[in-house]
Chain A
Amino acid sequence: MIPSRQATWVAPGFRWFWGKAALGLFPPLWMSACFGQSELVRPHIPGYDSPDWEAQLRAALPKGAVWEYADVAFLIVALGAASYVAIRARSRTGLLVIAGLSLAWLGFWRQGCICPIGALQNVALTLADPSYFVPTVVVLLVVVPILFTLLCGRTFCAAVCPLGAFQELTAIAPVRIPRWVDESLGLFPYAFLGLAVMTTVCSGYFLICHYDPFVSFFRLGANASTWIFSIGVVLLGLVIARPYCRFLCPLGAIFRIVSPLSRWHLRIPPSECINCRLCEEVCPYNAIRRPEEGGWDGTSQKLPISNLHLVVACCGVVIAGVVSGLFLGPVTSRLDWRIQLAERVWLEESGQVVGTTDASDVFRKSGIPVSQLYEEAAKIEGRYRWGCLLVGLWFGGVMAAKVLQLSRSPHRREYEPERGKCYSCGRCFRFCPLEQVRLGLIDADSIRVYAKAAEKDKARPT
């Protein structure tokens, strides 16, 4: 995303700053803070052995990566199971059971961290910062769900993602929101994905982790503002199912691109659809599409505008994206703490604020010249400017694709989930009369009634 010269700059800069600070500039800080003391020598006491200082640290060693490997194993097994249950066994209950298990394991037992969504950032950081090595398991955490989605649709979202499982299980009374609201808000994850990758690459800032509403539940600990955000998202999720998934999740944005290509995907009816329309309204995610005559090769224009106008509109949104990216750069760069520090120091130096902060105190005592801080901040801001420009380009492209998508309709012969948006949650199964026949809940003959009704509907203009 970012030219490599700029990208690789992160680490050296970081090392420079703290390397210098660590080189003994801090002990004087302490000493000047108190009464000019000199260092005291540890007395030699004959016959007395000092305790082993390393013993304390030995008690506090890392647990090792065993659990991370177990997580990946669990992920693969659960993904396999969820895909089977969604596509072959067609059981929402089964999916909910797997969701419960995932929530228990990946969520509450493993405390929801590191999750495949956040792991995106680690992979992005790897590409930007040569001093950062990503554990192989973390790469797997990202790649495995994407590959599964490519094969089976979003079964990861259905039952394996701890965040998705949390939301699926708490969506008690989901209502459908108007499709245009859904589609418009649904663009936000693409922007969030772009921004998260950009902040990670530009300054190692993990944006996704900052706005993870569920981790506070998984760890049962967070500060007040995080709790308010978390509880708000969960309350919203009681009626608007999966608010995080639909309007924020950056991994979901990738899935929405990848899932339409899935080799196998959950189907609403177990056999050939009779177009009875009974499932039309049941998906809380607005994912069910009715049959349509269309396709890229057909004459299936939906918007009453010519191709030329379409091209102009697409160019327009891309340009709009880039322009907003231009304005966004200086604003988002405030996320970086070095820029915050530089700003604070500048305000203090120019007398616009009184008093100092811990950060500015430590900075002053480090003896690093102010000009150097400003220079560094300017460099970082430059990276943000470029990054935001690219994010704007990316988002403009996404919007252009959306315009194209809206202008045409794909060819569909039966009621189908829109693969990008369908979470494979299995809610719609039981509304299909064919499914009820399959389960032996209704008589096969009664299907005829629905089929007849469907015939009648066909005559109706849509």
Chain B
Amino acid sequence: MAGGGKSPASFGEPASSDTPQSRETRRGFLADASRYCVLAFVAGAGGFVAGRRGEANQLVWQLDPDLCIGCGNCATQCVIQPSAVRAVQFYPLCAMCDICTGYFDVSYRSLDTAAENQLCPTGALIRQFIVDQAGVPRFEYHVQREICIGCGRCVKGCAMMNGSLYLQVQHDLCVECNDCSIARACPTRAFRRVPASQPFILKRKARRLLGQADK
């Protein structure tokens, strides 16, 4: 590397190599040289990585709903409590059932909003009556994001029907761990990094419904 020691001129004079001064000089020169080498290496390597493989866009964690089995780890393993994972409702896929398997516990006593009939432990799902279509009551189910804890019970329930309820990492809540601790614990490894510009993963069915090409 260019640069050199404090007085490089004296370096390389073999005759004086035994005096303490020249020893100091040589040491200084070697130190400077290795310093500049490491400097160049670190800066170069950093520049190379940033230039070749870097991107301004962040990567964020997201879970693939097609791989999720609603095991419940999302609620318990996230580093923040309540979890950054919440359920979302993909309305176009929901069949607006009266007997919603995502809303009602299998052992429900009556089809009403009493807590003991509900699957959701926090009562985060709203069952909204829409219309009576020729004797068939139609309901819309909404997730109250603020109350949901991401336990995935409704997801598991809804999967028996259309699977319109599914879990997604909420990026405004997620602290973007370098190594997502739910991802570590996920039994099906449904978590992966996605670009922040496309931070959600739709179900395949949902993509088809929207006429999007399969990725």
| Any A CB within 8 A of the CB of B205 | yes
- Cα-based distance from A118 to B142 in the complex (angstroms): 39
Chain A residue numbers with a CB within 8 Å of B140 are 50-51
- Asked if B114 is at the interface of the complex by the 8 Å CB criterion, the answer is no
Q: Which residues of B contact A263 (CB under 8 A)?
A: 35
Q: Does B121 contact A (CB under 8 A)?
A: no
Contact status of A362 and B188, CB under 8 A, knowing A136-B50, A143-B43:
yes
Q: Is the CB of A63 within 8 A of B171?
A: yes
B105 at the interface (CB under 8 A from A): no
Q: Are A60 and B173 in contact (CB under 8 A)?
A: yes
Q: Does A132 contact B (CB under 8 A)?
A: yes
Q: Does B34 contact A (CB under 8 A)?
A: yes
**Given the known A-B contacts A53-B90, A56-B89, A133-B55, are A22 and B49 also in contact in the complex, defined by CB atoms under 8 Å?**
no
Interface membership of chain A positions 3-33, coded 1 if the CB is closer than 8 angstroms to chain B and 0 otherwise: 0000000000000001001111011001001
Q: How far is the CA of A43 from the CA of B80 in the complex (A)?
A: 39
Taken together as a complex, chains A and B put the C-alpha atoms of A258 and B42 apart, in Å, by 10
Complex-state Cα separation, A223 to B97, whole angstroms = 38
Are B38 and A261 in contact (CB-based, < 8 A)?
A: yes
Q: Mark B54-84, 1 if CB is under 8 A from A, else 0.
A: 1111111000101101010000011111000
Residues of A within 8 A of B159 (CB): 30, 33
Query: Beyond A34-B160, A61-B171, is A43–B133 a contact (Cβ under 8 Å)?
Result: yes
**Segment at the B interface, from A91-99, A122-130, A430-438, A452-460:** A122-130
Contact check: which of B60, B92, B133, B163 meets A50 at CB < 8 Å?
B92
Q: Are A147 and B42 in contact (CB under 8 A)?
A: yes
A27 and B163 in contact, given A42-B94, A147-B39, A337-B189 (Cβ under 8 angstroms): yes
Asked whether A142 is an interface residue with its Cβ less than 8 Å from the other chain, the reply is: yes
Q: Which residues of B contact A355 (CB under 8 A)?
A: none
CA gap between A64 and B187 in the complex, in Å: 29
Q: Which of B14-28 contact A (CB under 8 A)?
A: 17, 23, 26-27
* In the complex, B178 has a CB within 8 A of chain A: yes
Q: Does A59 contact B (CB under 8 A)?
A: yes
How many Å lie between the Cα of A411 and that of B24 in the bound state? Answer: 10
Residues of B within 8 A of A337 (CB): 189
- Nearest neighbor of B205 in chain A, beta-carbon distance: A27
Contact of B55 among A63, A136, A147, A297 (CB under 8 A): A136
User: B45, B95, B205: which contacts A40 (Cβ < 8 A)?
Assistant: B95
A353 to B42, CA, bound (A): 50
Chain B residue numbers with a CB within 8 Å of A37 are 160-161
Bound together, the chains give a CA A65 to CA B58 distance in angstroms of 7
User: Shortest Cβ distance from A288 into chain B, in angstroms?
Assistant: 20
A264 nearest CB across to chain B (Å) = 11
Q: How far is the CA of A287 from the CA of B39 in the complex (A)?
A: 24
- Residue pair B96, A43 in contact (C-beta under 8 Å): yes
Beta-carbon contact of B131 and A362 below 8 Å: no
B119 contacts chain A at the CB level, 8 A cutoff: no
Q: Is the CB of A133 within 8 A of B187?
A: no
Chain B minimum-CB-distance residue to A122: B178
Q: Whose C-beta in chain A lies nearest to the C-beta of B78?
A: A221
Q: Are B39 and A135 in contact (CB under 8 A)?
A: no
Contacting B92 at CB < 8 Å: which of A42, A121, A143? A42
A156 within 8 A of B: no
A135, B54: Cβ atoms closer than 8 Å: yes
CB of B109 closer than 8 Å to a CB of A:
no
Q: Are B178 and A119 in contact (CB under 8 A)?
A: yes
Say yes or no for A88: interface residue by CB 8 A criterion.
Answer: no
- The answer to whether B188 and A30 have CB atoms under 8 Å apart is no
Asked if B88 is at the interface (CB within 8 A of a chain A CB), the reply is yes
Residue B170 is within 8 A (CB to CB) of chain A in the complex: yes
CA of A146 to CA of B44, assembled, Å: 13
**Shortest beta-carbon distance from B121 to chain A in Å:** 19
Complex contact A42–B93 (CB within 8 A): yes
C-alpha gap A6/B193 in the complex (Å): 22
Given contacts A146-B42, A209-B178, 19 further A-B contacts (CB under 8 A): A21-B66, A21-B67, A22-B67, A42-B92, A43-B138, A45-B130, A51-B91, A56-B89, A61-B199, A113-B175, A113-B178, A115-B178, A132-B59, A135-B59, A140-B50, A150-B39, A150-B42, A206-B178, A357-B187
A-contacting residues of B (Cβ < 8 Å)?
Answer: 17, 23, 26-27, 31, 34-35, 38-39, 42-43, 45-46, 49-50, 53-60, 64, 66-67, 69, 71, 77-81, 86, 88-97, 130-131, 133, 136, 138, 140, 142-143, 145, 159-163, 168-173, 175-179, 184, 187-189, 192-193, 196, 199-200, 204-205, 214
Some 22 contacts from A to B, beta carbons below 8 A apart, are A22-B64, A27-B163, A39-B161, A40-B95, A40-B162, A41-B95, A43-B136, A45-B138, A50-B140, A53-B91, A60-B171, A64-B196, A65-B196, A133-B53, A139-B49, A140-B50, A150-B39, A150-B42, A219-B79, A219-B80, A262-B35, A362-B188
Seen from chain A, the residues whose Cβ lies within 8 Å of a Cβ on chain B are 18, 21-24, 26-27, 30, 33-35, 37, 39-43, 45, 48, 50-53, 56-57, 59-65, 68, 111, 113-115, 118-119, 121-123, 126-127, 132-136, 139-140, 142-143, 146-147, 150, 206, 209-210, 215, 219, 221-223, 258, 261-263, 295, 297, 337, 357-359, 362, 411
